[in-house]
């Protein structure tokens, strides 16, 4: 009888331990999911903060900043005018370092079309002004950034035409580093990748006209990271 009671007690203990294990596993899993969700949201929020800061910088300086190459985290843009890939120049943009990292605290990657970081006089061309004036909306003959969708095999090298425009910049996580090939920067978008076409950026973030505003009252824009397109009414001529 005594042995039977001991056996029952051990069985109850074993059942109790199993139940505790199941409960602990449940809450541990939920905690891990919640942590992952928070990190993903932080990554997306910071990418949006950086994008908005880039819009403010362009509005003020008539160009995009160059990436930061600093290893000491000072966050200032590089002096190399040909640089295309680096980290977010958070000090140059006027944002905090904590807003330039992903959910794991790693610096976000910033890729920019080098020809859009020149010292321009203005954003748009003014056909009524004489002289050789440089401007942000100048034609870029050979864009350096190529976007390759994982489901396809051909790079989408944006051309400067009425309905398509070059990729101005890309913001991505350290897990999705670009490939440098033959002088081009090749990006395969992940779920976090934010790549912005120049016209889309001007319309949606600066609330302004696309570069080709003088050609058409309606511009068709490809939404970043998707194949979805939408028609957007162009704002009034900036020189009228």
pLDDT tens digit sequence for 56-83: 999 999 999 999 997 666 899 999 989 9
pLDDT tens digit sequence for 89-138: 999 999 999 999 999 999 999 999 999 999 998 888 776 666 678 889 98
User: Residue 219: what pLDDT?
Assistant: 40
User: Residue 29: what pLDDT?
Assistant: 65
Kindly indicate the confidence band of residue 86, based on its pLDDT and cuts at 50, 70 and 90: very high
CA distances 184 to 32, 82, 133, 161, Å, are 38, 12, 27, 20
Average predicted confidence (pLDDT) for the chain = 78
Average pLDDT, stretch 152-164? 43
pLDDT tens digit sequence for 170-196: 999 988 989 998 889 999 888 889 989
User: Residue 211: what pLDDT?
Assistant: 84
Per-position DSSP letters for the chain, written without gaps between them = -HHHHHHHHHHHHHHHHHHHHHHHHHHHHHHHHHHHHHHHHHHHHHHHHHHHHHHHHHHHHSSPPPPB--SS---PPPS-TT--EEE--HHHHT--GGGGB-TTSPBPEEEE-GGGSS--SBSS--TTS-S---BTT---SS--EEE--TT-SS-B----SSS---EEEEEE-TTSPPEEETTEEEE---SS-EEEEHHHHHHHTS----TTTTT-SEEEEEPTTSS-EEEEEPPPPTT-
User: Residue 166: what pLDDT?
Assistant: 87
Q: What are the domain boundaries of the chain? A: 2-197
Asked if residue 20 has pLDDT above 60, the reply is: yes
List, in order, residues 6 or more apart from 63 with CB less than 8 Å away. Answer: 116, 117, 118, 119, 120, 136
Average pLDDT, stretch 227-237? 43
User: Residue 215: what pLDDT?
Assistant: 43
User: Residue 157: what pLDDT?
Assistant: 43
Could you tell me whether strands 109-112 and 167-172 are parallel, antiparallel, or unpaired per DSSP bridges?
antiparallel
Asked if residue 152 has pLDDT above 60, the reply is: no
């Amino acid at each position: 009888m005594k042995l039977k009671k001991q056996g029952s007690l051990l069985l109850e203990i074993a059942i109790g331990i199993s139940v505790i294990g199941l409960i602990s596993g449940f809450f541990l899993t939920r905690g891990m999911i919640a942590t992952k969700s928070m990190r993903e949201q932080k990554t997306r929020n910071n990418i949006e903060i950086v994008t908005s800061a880039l819009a403010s910088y362009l509005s003020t300086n008539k160009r995009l900043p160059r990436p930061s190459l600093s290893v000491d985290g000072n966050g200032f843009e590089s002096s190399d005018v040909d640089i295309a890939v680096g980290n977010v120049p958070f000090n140059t943009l006027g944002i905090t370092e904590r807003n330039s990292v992903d959910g794991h605290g790693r610096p976000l990657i910033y890729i920019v079309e080098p020809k859009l970081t020149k010292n321009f006089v203005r954003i748009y061309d003014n056909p009524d002004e004489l002289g050789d004036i440089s401007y942000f909306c100048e034609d870029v003959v050979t864009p350096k950034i190529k976007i390759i969708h994982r489901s396809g095999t051909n790079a989408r090298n944006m051309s400067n035409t009425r309905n398509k425009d070059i990729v101005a910049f890309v913001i991505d996580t350290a897990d999705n580093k670009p490939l440098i090939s033959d002088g081009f920067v090749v990006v395969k978008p992940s779920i976090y990748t934010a790549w912005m076409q120049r016209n889309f950026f001007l319309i949606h973030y600066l609330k302004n006209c696309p570069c080709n505003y003088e050609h058409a009252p309606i511009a068709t824009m490809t939404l970043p990271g998707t194949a979805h397109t939408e028609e957007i009414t162009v704002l009034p001529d900036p020189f009228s």
